[in-house]
Amino acid sequence: MEDILRLIIEKYNYWIYITLMMIGLYAIIAKNNLVKKIVGMNILQTAVILFFVSIGVKRGATVPIIEHAHDGAHHAIRAAEYINPLPHVLMLTAIVVSVATLGVALVIAIKTYQRFLTLEEDEILKQIREP
């Protein structure tokens, strides 16, 4: 019991990202409204980003901007003092990708609306089946 509790507390960031990911996935698959699906898609993407950012965290470390950079006194930089910057870099890219996908998805959703005058998937499919 204690082990499980410790597992839960020790990795609560990871549990949250899984929860969010499941919310997003569920919204994409089960929701009927196209915009809702797009929201779900974005939640899915942010969940992955949350996961990556969580990897980078280091106990007792600070933001990866090296202090006293140009004050002349050059002392050795220890990696353990700074948070892992690599996931941050990756996630900057991922955020950009997600906003790009969002833009395109919304545009296409609008195109769909213009054609079928509804955003509900079942109504659209009904229209396609019986023109």
Per CB under 8 A, contacts with another protein among 60-119 are 60-67, 69-70, 76-97, 99-116, 118-119
Least separation in angstroms between CB 130 and another protein: 13
Least separation in angstroms between CB 125 and another protein: 8
Smaller CB distance to another protein: residue 1 or 79? 79
Q: What is the footprint of another protein within residues 6-65 (CB under 8 A)?
A: 7, 10-16, 18-37, 39-46, 48-65
121-129 helix and 86-116 helix, angle to the nearest 10 degrees: 50
Distance (Å) of CA 131 to CA 12, 86, 111, 112: 50, 52, 18, 15
Q: What would you measure as the largest C-alpha separation in the chain, in angstroms? A: 77
